Amino acid sequence: MSLSLFLSHSLSVSPVQRFKEVAELVLFISKLFIPGGTDMESTRILLLLLLGCFSASCASGSKGRGFIGWKDPENLDDVIVDQTAVDTLTSPLTTVFMPVLYIIVFVVGLPANAMAVWVFLFRTKKKHPSTIYMANLALADLLFVIWTPLKISYHFQGNNWTYGEPLCKVLMGFFYGNMYCSVLFIACLSVQRYWVVAHPLSQQRKNNKVAVCVCVAIWVFIWSTTTPLYLYNHTAKLKTPNITTCHDVNVIHDPLNPFPSIELLYFYFIFMGLVVFLVPCVVIVVAYILLLRALGDSMGDNAASKNRHRAVVLIVVVLVTFLVCFIPSNIMLVVHYSLLKDGLVNNGYGFYVSTLCLASLNSCLDPFIYYFVSEDFRDHVKNTLLCRSSRTVERMRVSFNSMKYSRKSKSYVSNSGDTQSSAC
């Protein structure tokens, strides 16, 4: 389906139908990947979050020309927006629901990702490509999360930005840059996981130099592609209500020719959505399908099959989380800026901004579906919280092993042939 046909379809359907289509897509993919009997509770939870975003956007009554502003002829410093935009900017969706969601992202994501970065950098002795990718993923999520207090303050103040244009540009650069950075690192991690399972004897799977070079290339690529976000003026001083928005209102200088006013953002989000998101998304889905197939072929009745089954469940949770968090937001980003390019009516702006919040949730979910599921990682976290150094942990491990050996050596076989302890 071409982009124009896709946009026409998006405009022709109602927000309710749009939500149903996204939900049905996620459920179809999850049913396709999840083996029989697997618990789908995590999928239901994420879909409930998506439904919450949708319900809040419907409650805001967001219709009409969503967030397009024009210069006031009487005062060129002020921007005029229509009443629907005013209602949305002052609605509970943007002043209560969104900041509360960002608070959850910050409270959960900051310590979780900070701990992950610390463990990967200072507690993990043996570095593998997967470890390198996860460390960079945690860093990207951490850089995303540390800027959320500014968004929380912005929304709680009634979408009034009081920190100036430069900081608004930096916020947008980190917000979108690290979001797409996370997508690319998740793609690398999915490919690495498949390669380890499909080619267990390959030495390439342990090549840290390749992983480091890939990570450096991703950081350079993402931060170079955020240049349009720093060249565009994101703030707009509204006449009514008397607030200054950050990235919420796009100022159109010529209503008859709106494209030049948003040209930079249009090309940025079309490129990021169709290339930087869509291509890695296909890679992730294909890699996990092949990984699930490889694990399914190796399942049997032994104890190892239980571990493989748990791995399958984890893979499905990872895949569904990624799809639910990122597909709606990237679809709506492409749709939204394609509509703005032609100055068309956007009937789903409330849903669009809600999906961005949903994408933010991925930053606080990643630590629990990638890092804390590992027993070794949890042990590292425990030792870090107890202020145990690596040397202390190693001494404790040696001491524990020595005690087990000592107990075994003190046991003897009696004349009757029974094994007894010397302490008895």
Strand blocks (E) in 169-311:
235-237, 244-246, 250-251
Backbone angles phi, psi at 400, to 5 degrees: -65, -45
The DSSP symbol for 301 reads S
Q: Which residues contact 49 (CB under 8 A, 6 or more apart)?
A: 324, 358, 361
- Residue 80 pairs in a beta bridge with 70
Residue 241 preceded by cis peptide, ω within 30: yes
Nearest to 34 by CA among 26, 45, 23, 22: 26
Domains and CATH numbers, the chain: 65-310+359-398 (1.20.1070.10)
Q: In what order do the strands lie in the sheet with 79-80?
A: 79-80, 68-71, 250-251
Q: Tens of pLDDT along the chain (424 residues)?
A: 444 444 444 444 444 454 455 455 545 544 544 444 444 555 555 555 555 554 444 444 433 334 788 888 888 788 988 888 888 888 898 899 999 999 999 999 999 999 999 988 887 777 889 889 999 999 999 999 999 999 999 999 999 999 999 999 999 999 999 899 999 999 999 999 998 888 776 665 567 899 999 999 999 999 999 988 999 889 999 998 899 999 888 888 877 777 788 888 889 999 999 899 999 999 999 999 998 888 876 655 565 667 777 888 888 888 999 999 999 989 988 888 888 887 665 556 677 778 888 899 999 999 888 887 777 777 777 877 776 555 554 554 444 445 444 444 444 333 434 433 333 3
- Using a cut of 0.85, tell me whether the model's pTM lies above it: no
How many C-beta atoms lie closer than 10 Å to residue 259's C-beta? Answer: 13
Residues 196/200/202/204 CA torsion (nearest 10 deg): 20
